[in-house]
Structure 1
Amino acid sequence: MSSIKLTGNCRSTAINFLRIRDGLNLQFVRFRKPRFVPKAKTKIFKVRKPTPIDPVEYKQLKTWQTHYNTEMKSIMSFFRKHCFLIEERNQEAAKLAPFAERFAAICNKNDKWNNATAVLREAEWNQKEAMLSERMQRLVEQEEYERLEMKERAKVKVQKVQEDLDEYITEENLDSKLDSLLDNIVTYDYALYLDGTRKEASSVDERPAKQSSSL
């Protein structure tokens, strides 16, 4: 008997398989079987027995639950009424107070808020100004350092050029340089062996004898 595993949202495919389920063994890899899957054969005749309840205990629990619900309802009603009375009292006091006093209180509250906001704004602006000044100072110092470093590099380069000036070939020392080159001819007609020995052209064929290794 073949076995098919159905995963994901494959309801239409499962229905097609259910039409020929007589010769198939359907296994659904899910936490709960879909609605269209029949009940398992091992649970067809399984009927859950209700949990036995003690009548005396049930009656007592029912009484306690009723008392609890009544007390909670009374407490919530009392708090709701108390809050409503406080709100109504405040509204009546606000209505009875003269408009000038209420306006003065509102203006005083607004002035306090404005003063506190001004202090915070001034402190924040001072902090930003200090940070900006510090940043500008760092930029100036970095620019000055880079300028001095560039000047120092240019000075070193000029000194090196001045030191090497005598070796340059100019119109004045052209003849002397040519004479020096002709007098000091460099020949590259030599050979180098693997051991690093150098042999001139006259003795290239005279290779050194190999040293026999002693065992």
Structure 2
Amino acid sequence: MMYGIVRTYSPYLRALQRSWEPINATGSLQIQQVRWRKRRTDPKAKSKIGRVREPTPFDPWERDFLVEKMPHYRSTMNAVRHLFNEELERKKDETAEGLSSVEQEREEEEEFRQLLKWNEQENAKINARRKEKLAAKAKEIEEENLQRLLRKEEQEAEEIERMRQLVLQEQEASKTFITMETMEAAINEALDNPKNYDFLIKKSGEPILPEDTAWESFKERTMKAKDEEFVADGGDENQVKSAEN
């Protein structure tokens, strides 16, 4: 057991042995301090048994103050460091190029004036283009409005003409209207000339209209369709006329 302890701490013992030798070969005094380190398996010191560490007290106002001010402090310090780095780099460039700070500032100012003048010229060009574009757009809008007004006037004129034609048609149709004066004559004519509204339809779909049918327009369309079908089949117009007669 004792051998194990000596073997474990042999490096420390050799260090202590060297520190016990006060004088070296040159005759000067040597003192070497060796710090004793505690192992993980060693028990707790007697002076710390039952000791409970109290948390470090802090001021709430100081904590809030630091939380609020530290970001500003860090940003300010970063800006200062950045400025110092730029100044250092500028001095290095001046040393490399052989220009003084005054000459470099003068060149930078002249370059800034040229850039400002070029910027004003570009702004003037862009302003002129913008004015031309706005003028063209305004002219286009004015032409569109004029065309819209013309189309509206044409539509109104067409609507007026259509209404006039309707009025004329109604006036022409009103001549055949039955009035109180012509009612008796119309009744007598209807009794003398009866009209039949009935008609037959074949299985093929062809209608059969009576002679006294009231569907005169339908009868005309039917006869015209028959004539066209007969001509398309190779019939002669004379045969059509004879068939009609």
TM-score of Structure 1 vs Structure 2, range by shorter chain? 0.3 to 0.5
Q: Quick check: which has more Rg, 1 or 2? A: 2
More strand by share: 1
Q: Which has the higher contact order (CA 8 A, sep 6+)?
A: 1
More helix by share: 2
- How does the TM-score come out when normalised to structure 1? 0.42
- How does the TM-score come out when normalised to structure 2? 0.37
